């Protein structure tokens, strides 16, 4: 019995020595493990609060704010009135101001609805001779404008010079004053103008639309 116990102790001792001689480096590298599962996506943050609307801007000034215009009026020949020559004086303090870069326009409308920029003339359809001349003269710093009409072949007819006669309207005029700071440089035979401008002052409808002038 004692002999068996001695052998057992010896075998145990040998086994311990063998295990002590083994190293962790001697073992083979194991296979790589499977990748881990993806994490859960985070929750989206809340939307920010909308900013306040900005204040409305100030309305711009009307394009015709500085344009001066009259109503249509009948001619009144208050300077002289003869069978073949008549003149009226139209007064407005604005006429006397310095409009070196601006214009003063007079429009004349006839009974058939045709509108002309003064000066304008009437010629014979057969000979081409001048029959009626209509002119405009700005009287310096006086604030006066002269409108003159002359007939060369015979005395005036009613339709030539009357504003209204026997219930029929024949002639009316109006003026438009365009200061230099808003002058479009339109083309005109009676005022300084920029010939490169597309606005033709002799075209009343175009001027009326461009400057938003009511009838």
Count the Cβ atoms, other than its own, within 10 Å of residue 104. Answer: 20
- Average the pLDDT over 105-116 and give the result: 96
Q: Tens digit of pLDDT for each residue in 154-183?
A: 999 999 999 999 999 999 999 999 987 765
Question: pTM of this prediction?
Answer: 0.66
Q: Quote the pLDDT of residue 102.
A: 80
Return the minimum-mean-pLDDT range out of 26-30, 44-48, 143-147, 193-197: 193-197
Q: Are strands 68-69 and 80-81 parallel, antiparallel or unpaired?
A: unpaired
Return the minimum-mean-pLDDT range out of 44-53, 59-68, 79-88, 185-194: 185-194
**Number of compact structural domains in the chain:** 1
Give domain status of residue 160, yes or no: yes
Q: Quote the pLDDT of residue 162.
A: 98
Q: Quote the pLDDT of residue 49.
A: 76
pLDDT band at 34 (very low <50, low <70, confident <90, very high): confident
Tokens of 77: 């020949």
Residue among 108, 88, 69 at smallest CA distance from 190: 108
Give domain status of residue 16, yes or no: no
| pLDDT above 90: residue 126 | yes
Give domain status of residue 63, yes or no: no
| pLDDT above 80: residue 133 | yes
Q: Quote the pLDDT of residue 116.
A: 97
Cβ–Cβ < 8 Å for 178, 67: yes
Residue 90: strand pairing partners: 145
Could you identify the residue written with the tokens 């209204």?
164
Give domain status of residue 38, yes or no: no
Q: Tens digit of pLDDT for each residue in 66-106?
A: 899 999 999 999 999 999 999 999 999 888 876 667 899 99
Most confident of 39-43, 44-48, 135-139: 135-139
pLDDT band at 189 (very low <50, low <70, confident <90, very high): very low
Give domain status of residue 104, yes or no: yes
Give domain status of residue 211, yes or no: no
Query: Which comes out higher in pLDDT, residue 177 or 32?
Result: 177
pLDDT band at 139 (very low <50, low <70, confident <90, very high): confident
Residue 158: phi and psi, rounded to 5, are: -55, -40
Give domain status of residue 65, yes or no: no
Mean pLDDT of the chain, nearest integer: 80
Q: Quote the pLDDT of residue 46.
A: 77
Give domain status of residue 61, yes or no: no
Residue 172: phi and psi, rounded to 5, are: -145, 155
Structural domain harbouring 113: 72-175
């Amino acid at each position: 019995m004692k002999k068996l116990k001695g052998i057992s102790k010896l075998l145990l001792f040998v086994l311990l020595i063998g295990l002590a001689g083994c190293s962790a480096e001697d073992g083979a590298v194991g296979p790589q493990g499977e990748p881990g599962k993806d994490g859960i996506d985070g929750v989206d943050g809340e939307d920010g609060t909308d900013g306040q609307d900005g204040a409305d801007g100030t309305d711009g000034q009307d394009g015709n704010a500085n344009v001066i215009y009259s109503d249509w009026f009948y001619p009144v020949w208050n300077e002289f009135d003869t069978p073949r020559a008549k003149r009226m004086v139209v007064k407005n303090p604005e006429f006397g101001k310095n409009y070196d870069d601006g214009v003063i326009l007079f429009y004349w409308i006839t009974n058939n609805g045709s509108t002309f920029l003064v000066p304008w003339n009437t010629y014979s359809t057969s000979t081409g001779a001048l029959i009626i001349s209509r002119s405009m003269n700005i009287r310096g710093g006086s604030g006066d404008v002269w409108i003159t009409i002359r007939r060369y072949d015979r005395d005036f007819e009613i339709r030539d010079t009357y504003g209204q006669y026997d219930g029929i309207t024949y002639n009316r005029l109006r003026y438009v004053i365009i200061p230099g700071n808003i002058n479009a440089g339109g083309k005109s035979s009676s005022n300084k103008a920029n010939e490169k401008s597309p606005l033709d002052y002799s075209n009343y409808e175009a001027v009326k639309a461009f400057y938003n002038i009511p009838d």
